Structures are given as structure tokens and as C-alpha cells.
Amino acid sequence: MSFFTSEYTCKLDAKGRLVLPARFKAALPEVSGNQLVIGHGFDPCLVLYPTVEFKKIEARISSLSEFDPENRRLQRAFFNSHTEVELDGTGRFLIPKKALAYAQLEKEAILIGIGKKVEVWSPALYAQYMTDSPDEYSELVQKKLGNEQ
């Protein structure tokens, strides 16, 4: 099972390729090999999944009834916004132009490990969405986890 944590700032090359940080590459499950799936996140970022993790989500979305118009819209939006990418010999992968535009990525990207996946953010957008205040962070933990901690 893959597990990603931490934050890395990475440069994009002129072709839109990004080098996956060594720690993230080391966390990839062997069954995924050099294959990853990248797609639009729910926030204005990209989400990078090891293939094995993406297949779990893909199975859930594919199993929705095609007879429900809402399900079809979800399936269409989800599968249209995800694509397979492959790490080359130097650990780079190409981010599709549509995905670069969606996440407003230009010269730099911030990669955030969040458990089973990695988010790819524009530094400017990430600064808007990140919780930097210890008090706000504490409130979120209390609200979402309650007394579990």
C-alpha cells in the first residue's frame, strides 16, 4: 500500500514535465510500476494516484448505474478529467495541457502527499487553500475528529 506525506516544491520544464520526488517514487507500490493516473481534484489542483489506488475509485464510479442521469454526468466528468501517465527513466511525467490549465500550473508546482494520493498545486493557489493558522488547524481537527484524538 502506498502512503504519501510531506510537501515538495518542484520545477516544471518547458514541456510540462515534472520530476516526482524520490520519497514519493519510493512509496509507489510495485504493482503500479511506473504508471500513475493524474486528474482534476475537487479543489483547483491535480490529483496523482498510483494505478492500484485509482482502480479502487474507478471500480466504484464504474459500478454506478448508467440508467441514472446524475451517475452518467459523474462518470463522464470523472473519466474525462483523468489520464494515465508514465514515469520516464529520470522519474519525470508529462502533465497534459488541459490539466496544466485547470490547476493554473506554470513554472513551479507544490506536491503534497495526502495518504494514498499526491496533490499537485500552483504555489499561488496552494497559499490560498492551505491552513497556516494553528488555531484554525486545531478547530478543523476538533470539528472533524472530535474527541478521537
pLDDT of residue 30: 84
> Which parts of the chain register pLDDT below 50?
149
CATH superfamily of 7-148: Transcriptional regulator MraZ domain (3.40.1550.20)
pLDDT recorded at residue 59: 97
Give the domain ranges of the chain: 7-148
pLDDT of residue 148: 59
Q: Return the pLDDT at 126.
A: 95
Q: Count of CB atoms within 10 A of residue 78's CB?
A: 16
The pLDDT of residue 117 is: 96
